[in-house]
Amino acid sequence: MKSFILISLPALALLAACASSDMPEASEGERLFADNCTACHDYRGTGSAQLIGGQAAPDLTRISARNGGTFPTAQVLSQIDGYGRGKVSAEVMPEFGVLLQGDLVPIEIDGTLTPTPRPLAALLAYLESIQVP
């Protein structure tokens, strides 16, 4: 009986933690997109002809189409998450510190559930929702 309690209490705590961190909806990401991304990527994410640091912001509704029909979650996440580390320099697409804050939610990346800041997860959900064939 004693060992049963020892095992079940942490399990219950884990269950409660999971229940409270429900996954963000695309609409939550849409608001973040409107606040942080539309200046360059246009309000529908369709990109802009205007050059920023010599580069045009790409059409974000066709990320899957450019990737053989699959939404490349890991690639998109690292693009939004760490510009300095990626191929896009921080001057071209700024880093969004505020997007890296908040609760962590599990996002499946290459088959592994990865704790991801909620604002980033919301943006991913939004971007995935606007993909066109």
- Which residues contact ligand HEC (rule: CB under 6 A)? 36-37, 39-41, 52, 55, 57-58, 60, 63, 66, 76, 79-80, 87-88, 92-94, 96, 123
Our CA dihedral for 59, 64, 67, 70, rounded to 10 degrees, sits at 170
What is the C-alpha R_g of the chain? 18
Minimal CA–CA distance to 63: which of 81, 85, 82, 41?
41
- In the complex, minimum distance from the CB of residue 124 to ligand HEC, in angstroms, rounded to a whole number: 9
Choose between 37 and 125: whose C-beta lies nearer to ligand HEC: 37
Kindly tell me the burial class for residue 123, based on how many C-beta atoms sit within 10 Å of its own C-beta (0-12, 13-18, 19 or more). Answer: buried
Choose between 8 and 55: whose C-beta lies nearer to ligand HEC: 55
- In the complex, minimum distance from the CB of residue 44 to ligand HEC, in angstroms, rounded to a whole number: 13
- In the complex, minimum distance from the CB of residue 26 to ligand HEC, in angstroms, rounded to a whole number: 13
